Chains A and B, each alone.
Chain A
Amino acid sequence: MDILRTENMTKRFGGVVANNDLSIGIPEGEITALIGPNGSGKTTFINVVTGVHPITSGKVYFKDQDITGMEINRISRLGIARTFQKIRLFENLSVIENVLVARKSFYKSGPLSVVLGTPSFRKEEKENREKAMELLELVGLEDNAYDSPKGMAYGLRRCLEIARALALEPQLIFLDEPAAGMTRDEFKVIMNLMMILKEKGITTLLVEHTMDFIKAVADWVYVLNFGQIIAKGTFDVIEKDPLVLKAYLGED
């Protein structure tokens, strides 16, 4: 069963075809990796599916629901979370507030109960703070909860972005190069996190360049080149595929 399907998805930027007629399925509950050389359209794929870039043509289905052309916030609320290749945190909010922002759709209190400070709003705020704290513990940031993310180490910022994505309680999560620029220890944290996500039944789509990482975690691999799928299968199969070798290493 595929949790997400694209049908003939095409994305053009002017004359550049970033995604060319892609029909991909992401199997539910597993870790799928999307790899390919620079500029092959991996990030574009995530941006189009999550609604950040408007689609040029084709369709996107999430759990058989057509989500093509939906607003980003609606797609997110359906249960699709993501991180960004270039980390995008809310720099003027504290660490825990960054996570709490993604909890907003779980609040029921309206502006009036907020202004009056009703008990139900206070309870809701407390529950969501606890939930946010749990997520920070999961990624090892509980001691930094009230710090600013501004001066934090790169790996910790990555972890915070993942915690924020998880705060949406997603069914599908897109991780755009989560291991890029990480130290060996940070790398282990992310690797461990991927396993926790899998245990929780959250489907993951991973864009990565680190082959050791993909080999260790991915159940399935799609290989993109010039906006098209050139190979798919398990890592062991992909590794030996002549087309893939050619795309990465060039002719001969």
Chain B
Amino acid sequence: MKKTIFVIGAILLIILFPLFVKNSYHLYLMNRALIHAILATGLVFLTGFAGQISLGQAGFYAIGAYSSAYFTVKLGMPIVVGVIAGIVISVIAGFLLSIPSFKLKAFFLSLVTIAFGQIVWMLVINLTPITGGPYGFFGIPFYSFGGEMLSFGQVFWLFGGLLLLSVFIMFRIKHSHFGRAMLAMNDDDVATETCGISTKKLKIAAFGFSAGLAGLAGALYAHLAGFLSPEPFTFFESSNFVAMAVVGGLRHMSGGVVGGIGLTLLPEFLRFGGWENYYLMVTSLIVIVIVIFMPMGLGPILESLFRKVFRVKRNNTKTL
């Protein structure tokens, strides 16, 4: 019951939004927000569910973006193929990054993932024949269908659909033997192993899934922007992605969506007269306040508000 209301509500929102919002900057911004929501959803899966840390998510974002750009521009493939290539290459990189997590936890694992992000960033700058380096990668095709360029509104529908699909896949996996095993590993990995579960395989899968979503987000960004430069792929962006997942709610299904959209739009709301120089600082302050006073994130708070408004009872037969 609760599930159906959520799904119908989300679909309606996605369908209606572009019909009412006509300002193309606002639509572009919302499209960026959806991309961030997809990426942050992957982080919620990796960190909130499987208990692993990645401060190098911008690395996968870059791999997805540049792979798709390369496949479409240099190899002349259609955008669909480019995006799939971006996902696949990211997933492979994710599998590789999971290897250090077999032995490392917490601080040490975060250091390794930061290093991974830095390596990818250096490759973006220095592999000029593929990435265009600091000069940038130009002429990346925009979304089109049957020879017609899509409007920002239609792109919004596309991204919204992909976001819904990502959340749906994550939901199904969470409520299965795989999801339970990941949540168990998050609590206690030795006890999980004694339940006959290979935590190595779970870590490989979790890193692969979150890298895949980051790769998808990167590829979607490449074709939205039409131009890639190294700036959006720095460590600063990686930490921003983590902030999105935390603010939205690391352990909550909607965490990535709420945090990704919220933290993309928040600075825009703060960018008003006379405050232009401070809006990023205020954004960070708001993040700090949320983390301190609402450690569960905004997702669970929105959910309980939603329950009060629609008087939906908690379905406790599924999960806590």
Binding site for B on A (CB under 8 A): 50-52, 71-74, 76-77, 81-82, 84, 88-94, 97-98, 100-105, 107, 109, 111, 114-115, 117, 121, 125, 128, 146, 148, 164-165, 167-168
Binding site for A on B (CB under 8 A): 168-169, 172-173, 176-178, 180-181, 183-184, 186-188, 190-199, 205, 251, 316-317, 319-320
| CB-nearest residue of chain B to A113 | B176
Q: Besides A73-B199, A76-B194, 20 other CB < 8 A contacts?
A: A51-B193, A52-B190, A71-B198, A72-B193, A73-B193, A76-B193, A77-B196, A88-B188, A92-B183, A92-B186, A92-B320, A100-B180, A101-B195, A107-B177, A109-B177, A111-B173, A114-B176, A125-B177, A148-B320, A165-B194
Q: Assuming the A-B contacts A90-B184, A90-B187, A93-B183, are A104 and B319 also in contact, with contact meaning beta carbons closer than 8 angstroms in the complex?
A: no
- 20 A-B pairs in the complex with CB atoms less than 8 angstroms apart: A72-B193, A73-B195, A88-B190, A89-B188, A90-B192, A92-B251, A93-B183, A93-B319, A94-B320, A101-B184, A104-B177, A104-B195, A104-B196, A105-B197, A114-B176, A114-B177, A115-B168, A128-B177, A165-B194, A168-B195
In angstroms, Cα B187 to Cα A90, docked, is 6
In angstroms, Cα B177 to Cα A121, docked, is 10
Q: Is the interface of B mostly helix, strand, loop or mixed?
A: helix
- Find chain A residues with CB under 8 A from B199 CB: 73
**Smallest CB–CB gap between A28 and chain B, Å?**
21
Q: Is the CB of A91 within 8 A of B187?
A: yes
Q: Assuming the A-B contacts A94-B320, A115-B169, are A82 and B197 also in contact, with contact meaning beta carbons closer than 8 angstroms in the complex?
A: no
- Find chain B residues with CB under 8 A from A72 CB: 190, 193-194
- Find chain A residues with CB under 8 A from B320 CB: 92-94, 97, 148
Q: Assuming the A-B contacts A89-B191, A92-B320, A121-B176, are A73 and B196 also in contact, with contact meaning beta carbons closer than 8 angstroms in the complex?
A: yes
- Find chain B residues with CB under 8 A from A98 CB: 184
In angstroms, Cα B317 to Cα A94, docked, is 10
Q: Is the CB of B317 within 8 A of A146?
A: yes
Q: By CB atoms of chain A within 10 A, which of B184, B188, B197, B319 has the most?
A: B184
In angstroms, Cα B191 to Cα A81, docked, is 11
Q: Is the CB of B178 within 8 A of A114?
A: yes
| CB-nearest residue of chain A to B173 | A114
